[in-house]
Structure 1
Amino acid sequence: MGKRLTLYIVIAMFVGIATGYALNVSYPAGDKRLADIADLLKLLPEVFLHLIKMIIAPLILATLVTGIASMGDSTALGRIGGRALAWFITASLISISLGLVLVNLFQPGVGLNITSATPVGDLATADFTIRHFVLEVFPTSALDAMAKNNVLQVLVFSVFAGVGLSAMGEEGAPLVRGAEALATLMLTITDYVMRFAPFAVFGALSSVIATRGVGIIVTYGVFAGEFYIALMLLWVILMGFAAVFLGGKRVLLLARYIREPLLLAFSTASSESALPKLFEQLDRFGVPRRISGFVLPLGYSFNLDGSMIYTSFATLFIAQAYNIQLSAGQQIAMLLTLMVTSKGIAGVPRASLVVIAATLTQFGLPVEGVALLLGVDTFLDMGRAATNVVGNAVATSVITKWEGMLQPPMDPDASEALPPHDTPEHGRRGLNLDPEA
């Protein structure tokens, strides 16, 4: 479905551009009939956005509860988990901060001058205060937070629930399995919702181009190019940090070992699709499965560097497109929010749109601005999926070295079978730290 969906989105993009151009030249500027047609076309992306918002709270709840509850409570697991989370938090701050800095430097959305029918919320226009932010984090009711799609409050509840289930042990196992099933269900629903994406792309592009002309396409190209520059800079930073821990030669080897999962993630626009191959290549690189079997699944919930830099870059792009000025304090508040909300991103295509929509809602920014991203999101998703693979490969290798457990590498091109206890599927969900596991 992934490749076909990408093809359908590309087709919808070109059809939407052609339709929008035909409408733009067929009606004079300011014609009410053109406005009515454009408004009707906007219905398609609006329906899509409603469906996306429907997924937000349960997806984040299930993903985080499952990830935290599965961490276990052994000493070794706690130490490795603590080091992993420390790395993830550092990488998150770097990724999101880099996105904010570069989007302010490049300013790809300036000049679009898009107007919104939705009023901007208080948080986006009022002065940021620590008191306001802190009180917004903690829920008074989990159900109320879910109903209002208040992502930060859902996250706080999810952390308490995950830690509590981990402490309960076997008594909490049925609820953990229920959370895993809910996560699977929400990803399945996400797959269904994404099948409507080509129609949303068609409606979004044709509506925008019908009213604003084809000149907006140049802005899309500039936006995509500047985002890939940001990704390349992030790769350099991540590999630079890895070189400090692993050494220059070993980093070059790591880049060689992960080339196949990286290309797989890029071509499918899904970092999840590369996970089995990434396990295998890290085995060959010298990472014991008892480390990768814990750190990689944790990283796929907490350490999606490409997705995180995209959320900050795209959110500020939308604010710029709608001529909404955000102060430095408000951008720092957004950074902190994205720092937390990005931990619920699943490693599947276009999942970042869910977090972007949630952040826009949280800050009172026009959520319909997500429609501006749909036309190029597929191409951007390819880059950020590959970046997610790089980030998690670096994190797992560094933590293994940190633990003093990095082994000599095998030939990355060798075809011999791995030992039975190191098959790529072993340990994907389990967290057994027994050296013989």
Structure 2
Amino acid sequence: MARRLTYWIIAALIAGLVVGWGLHSAIDDGTPAAAAKLTDIAGYFAVLTTVFLRLIKMIIAPLVFATLVVGIAHMGDTATLGRVGLKSLGWFLCASLMSLLLGLFLVNLLQPGVGLGLPIPPVTAASGVVRTGFDLKDFVAHIVPASMIAAMADNEILQIVVFSVFVGVAITAVGDAAAPLVRGVEALSAVMLRITDYVMRFAPVAVFAAVASTLAERGPGVLRDLGYFMASFYLGLFLLWALLIGIGFVLIGGRMRLLVRYIRDPLLLAFTTASSEAAYPRTLEALDRFGVPARIASFVLPLGYSFNLDGSMMYMTFASLFIAQAYGIHLQLGEQVTMLLVLMVTSKGIAGVPRASLVVIAATLSMFHIPEAGLLLILAVDHFLDMGRSATNVIGNAVAASVVAIWEGGLEPRLPADIDPPPAPSSGLLH
């Protein structure tokens, strides 16, 4: 099914481009009435995408909990868990720094905001994005869930990880007495994988609706106006892909090309839906096929969704300095490095926040006396940029899990890329 789904998603993407562009061309005549009509049409399309993303959110919490608890239970001891956690965080830190530095280098080299011919909004204008300053006390307190039920209801992945770690460690400490609970959680994981299969069949419809909605409302002109900025950012993403995959080849070897092949489905899903979260279940299955042990994948992947969003990290430096260039504000190298460090810290405190990258950028701009209203320049194309950074996040987390698996003793035998693992307790995700 995986291969057929990929083809259907590509077809839906093309169909969405054609339908959205066609609707905009047929209806838009420059009048407010036409714009309102296009907004209404886009809203009806968006309902389908919203339903799909809600179905994904329905899956995420129980899937993360089940796979993570079983993975920790099979690690054997807390020393192994601590070792894997430290290696994962070490990789996340290096990957984040690499992403931020690459974005910093490219935006200074290509200067997409210099000489921008667009009308710049007034300095006093608001961006419409709620700013959230980084507060260490709030961040640390937010990590620990006040309620497991509330954490799952809100899809707070980091809080779910913390609770799951406690449960997994406790199961390990209890030993044989907890064996029935482990079997129950394994069965829950198998059921959630089966539900994932059902939900993914709706993905092409959601992709078609998402693309058609955006183009119908905004039209192709928005891509043309900020084309150089978008092209520069996507060049940076491709270079980041090359770096991540290249490092993977160095650390994993020739088998790395199989990982690239195995993650094409979740990568395409993340790109077309502009949601890293939508690709989580498929990424977990792809890592299973590739041979990443379940205990590693089920721990590193959810942790990476809070600490290893490589595409989002690059976007933060790129967009912040693009806005500064558009206003003609020159930042010294020292100020840019300081901005990079601020972004690296603040980005870790906003997991689960909608349009989190924009929230962090809005909070950072004011710290460096850059008009926050500059966000209005990129809001129009943020969806198209989010597609690229979501796909990059998938690659970054897949490589991270694979590298940690190598550091922890190697990969298991791989499964063929064109078959789905059986959603039963004997699946590689469950042992």
TM-score of the superposition, structure 1-length normalised?
A: 0.63
Task: Return the alpha-carbon distance in structure 2 between the equivalents of residues 363 and 267 of structure 1.
Answer: 34
Q: 1:233 aligns with which of 216, 234, 239?
A: 239
Secondary structure of the 1:414 match is: coil
1:88/1:272 CA distance change after superposition, 3 Å: same
Paired position in structure 1 for 2:140: 159
Contact 2:241 2:392 in 1 (8 A): yes
Secondary structure of the 2:134 match is: helix
Paired position in structure 2 for 1:332: 337
Task: Return the alpha-carbon distance in structure 2 between the equivalents of residues 179 and 149 of structure 1.
Answer: 23
Paired position in structure 1 for 2:110: 106
The one-letter amino acid paired with 2:239 is L
Pair 1:277 & 2:279 matched:
no
Over aligned residues, Cα RMSD in angstroms?
A: 4.3
Paired position in structure 1 for 2:172: none
Q: 5 Å matches for 1:236-255?
A: 236-247=242-253, 249-255=254-260
Task: Return the alpha-carbon distance in structure 1 between the equivalents of residues 416 and 337 of structure 2.
Answer: 45
1:397 is displaced (CA, Å) by 0.2
1:161/1:184 CA distance change after superposition, 3 Å: closer
The one-letter amino acid paired with 1:81 is G
The one-letter amino acid paired with 2:245 is M
Contact 1:350 1:378 in 2 (8 A): no
Task: Return the alpha-carbon distance in structure 2 between the equivalents of residues 272 and 326 of structure 1.
Answer: 34
User: Which consecutive unaligned segments of at least 5 residues does structure 2 have?
Assistant: 1-11, 33-60, 158-209
1:362 is displaced (CA, Å) by 3.5
User: Can you list the C-alpha shifts for 1:180-206, whole angstroms capped at 9, x where unaligned?
Assistant: 545569xxxxxxxxx9xx99x97xx89
1:345/1:263 CA distance change after superposition, 3 Å: farther
1:118/1:289 CA distance change after superposition, 3 Å: same
Q: 1:81 aligns with which of 85, 91, 95?
A: 85
1:116/1:330 CA distance change after superposition, 3 Å: farther
Contact 2:285 2:421 in 1 (8 A): no
The one-letter amino acid paired with 2:246 is G
Pair 1:313 & 2:318 matched:
yes
1:97 is displaced (CA, Å) by 0.8
1:288/1:348 CA distance change after superposition, 3 Å: farther
Task: Return the alpha-carbon distance in structure 2 between the equivalents of residues 104 and 230 of structure 1.
Answer: 12
User: Can you list the C-alpha shifts for 1:136-163, whole angstroms capped at 9, x where unaligned?
Assistant: xxxxxxxxxxxx955322x45323563x
Paired position in structure 1 for 2:47: none
The one-letter amino acid paired with 2:365 is L
Deviates more, 1:374-383 or 1:296-305: 374-383
Paired position in structure 2 for 1:379: 384
Task: Return the alpha-carbon distance in structure 2 between the equivalents of residues 112 and 402 of structure 1.
Answer: 47
1:217 is displaced (CA, Å) by 6.7
Percentage identity across paired residues of the two chains = 51
Task: Return the alpha-carbon distance in structure 2 between the equivalents of residues 225 and 310 of structure 1.
Answer: 13
Task: Return the alpha-carbon distance in structure 2 between the equivalents of residues 347 and 384 of structure 1.
Answer: 16
Contact 1:349 1:381 in 2 (8 A): no
1:363 is displaced (CA, Å) by 3.0
Contact 1:350 1:377 in 2 (8 A): no
1:364 is displaced (CA, Å) by 3.3
Contact 2:131 2:359 in 1 (8 A): no
Task: Return the alpha-carbon distance in structure 1 between the equivalents of residues 264 and 353 of structure 2.
Answer: 19
1:353 is displaced (CA, Å) by 1.9
Task: Return the alpha-carbon distance in structure 2 between the equivalents of residues 14 and 351 of structure 1.
Answer: 29
The one-letter amino acid paired with 1:269 is A
The one-letter amino acid paired with 1:241 is I
Pair 1:221 & 2:202 matched:
no
Q: 2:359 aligns with which of 350, 354, 360?
A: 354
Task: Return the alpha-carbon distance in structure 2 between the equivalents of residues 311 and 251 of structure 1.
Answer: 28
Q: 5 Å matches for 1:166-185?
A: 174-175=146-147, 177-182=149-154
Paired position in structure 1 for 2:194: none
Contact 1:270 1:348 in 2 (8 A): no
Q: 5 Å matches for 1:25-424?
A: 74-112=78-116, 115=120, 117-118=122-123, 151-153=133-135, 155-159=136-140, 162=143, 165=144, 174-175=146-147, 177-182=149-154, 218-247=224-253, 249-346=254-351, 350-415=355-420, 417=422, 419-422=424-427
Paired position in structure 1 for 2:40: none
Task: Return the alpha-carbon distance in structure 2 between the equivalents of residues 328 and 14 of structure 1.
Answer: 43
Task: Return the alpha-carbon distance in structure 1 between the equivalents of residues 223 and 233 of structure 2.
Answer: 15
Contact 2:132 2:360 in 1 (8 A): no
Secondary structure of the 1:324 match is: coil
1:418 is displaced (CA, Å) by 5.4
User: Which consecutive unaligned segments of at least 5 residues does structure 1 have?
Assistant: 24-62, 121-147, 166-172, 186-194, 207-213, 427-435
1:378 is displaced (CA, Å) by 1.6
1:406 is displaced (CA, Å) by 1.5
Paired position in structure 2 for 1:138: none
Task: Return the alpha-carbon distance in structure 1 between the equivalents of residues 301 and 396 of structure 2.
Answer: 10
Task: Return the alpha-carbon distance in structure 1 between the equivalents of residues 223 and 402 of structure 2.
Answer: 41
1:330 is displaced (CA, Å) by 1.2
Contact 2:267 2:395 in 1 (8 A): yes
Task: Return the alpha-carbon distance in structure 2 between the equivalents of residues 381 and 416 of structure 1.
Answer: 30
Task: Return the alpha-carbon distance in structure 2 between the equivalents of residues 94 and 19 of structure 1.
Answer: 46
